[in-house]
Amino acid sequence: MMKKITLAVLFSIALFSLSKHALAFPENSLRPGGLGVISVLPSNQAKPYVSYNASPVALVKGQQNWLAVVGIPLSAKSGSHQITIKDKSGKVTKKRFNVKTHQYKTQRLTIKNKNKVNPNKKSTKRIEKEYLLKQKLKKTFSPTAPKMNFIKPVTGRDSGRFGLKRILNGQKRNPHSGMDIAAPQGRKIKAAESGRVLFVGDFFFTGKVVYLDHGNGLLSLYAHLSKIHVKQGQQVKRGEVIARVGKTGRVTGAHLHWSVYLNGNSIDPSLFITQNK
């Protein structure tokens, strides 16, 4: 039975790969920090409800099937994972997929501002508050169909890939949850995709930030900004200038930190760039 399910999933992934370019989907990558595109039901049936680790999952109506686009957390263990599918009649089925191991590299950085590495009491209070807000923002799930045809938001040198194990001033920190693009202060940053401005703010670590909501739990975050050109609640189009590169928050120099969230997990943004690759 297990084998049958796995084969079915593999078959649907293979089928999907063939049509990927026509549909402009993100790259299927079953690893921690990656994503799975899994067909769940024929698309002539009513839209189901799909969840993974108790969170709702983005759904796209393909030509043949409803496709679940599942974000896999960086902390995921390799092996068998499952999504839960609830159809309109309330019938629940499970579908399994296999997460592969992936070795992310280590990056050592030196931060001059020591309070950004070992924050004092006052900063710690602020960080805790911001952490809770960030957790809440990440879990946003709006009902609109996800827009997934991303462009790279700024031109510049790749200065820190997604998933790097980080050592700051010799101390181990959380892995890198986004993509760093080094660019001069003031360079225009474009919206990776159309969406709604979910949040605009200024955080201790990430500095000035913009969060965009692209629908169905797909979000993008732009951090360390010098200037912000958009307001919360505003609709933006793909390619529209939303902010400028800066060095606010914890940085070694001017760059854009770009994160992409899917069903509450930060996912490798490079998987979403279907153009200019």
Spatial CA neighbour of 142 closest among 183, 79, 91, 198? 198
Q: Segment near Zn ion (CB under 5 A), from 72-80, 148-156, 174-182, 245-253? A: 174-182
Spatial CA neighbour of 24 closest among 143, 156, 181, 194? 194
Report the nearest approach of Zn ion to the CB of residue 68 (Å): 28
Cβ atoms within 10 A of the Cβ of 116, count? 16
**Identity of the residue, 62 or 175, whose beta carbon is nearer to Zn ion in the bound complex:** 175
Per CB under 5 A, the list member of 9, 40, 95, 180 interacting with Zn ion is 180
Q: Segment near Zn ion (CB under 5 A), from 26-34, 175-183, 234-242, 268-276? A: 175-183
Report the nearest approach of Zn ion to the CB of residue 180 (Å): 4
Contacts of 24 (CB under 8 A, 6+ apart): 148, 149, 274
Q: Segment near Zn ion (CB under 5 A), from 46-54, 114-122, 249-257, 260-268? A: 249-257
Partner residues linked to 29 by β-bridges: 35
- Residue with nearest beta carbon to Zn ion: 257
187 binds Zn ion (CB under 5 A): no
Contact 71, 267 (CB under 8 A): yes
**Identity of the residue, 95 or 257, whose beta carbon is nearer to Zn ion in the bound complex:** 257
The distance of Cα 134 from the centroid of its chain, to the nearest Å, equals: 13
**Identity of the residue, 191 or 209, whose beta carbon is nearer to Zn ion in the bound complex:** 209
Site map for Zn ion, 131-170, x if CB under 5 A?
Answer: ----------------------------------------
The span from the CA of 177 to the CA of 110, in Å, is 18
Per CB under 5 A, the list member of 34, 257, 268, 271 interacting with Zn ion is 257
Beta strand pairing call for 106-109 and 165-168: parallel
The span from the CA of 199 to the CA of 185, in Å, is 22
**Identity of the residue, 180 or 193, whose beta carbon is nearer to Zn ion in the bound complex:** 180
The span from the CA of 126 to the CA of 201, in Å, is 13
Report the nearest approach of Zn ion to the CB of residue 178 (Å): 5
Which residues make up the interface to Zn ion (CB under 5 A)? 178, 180, 257
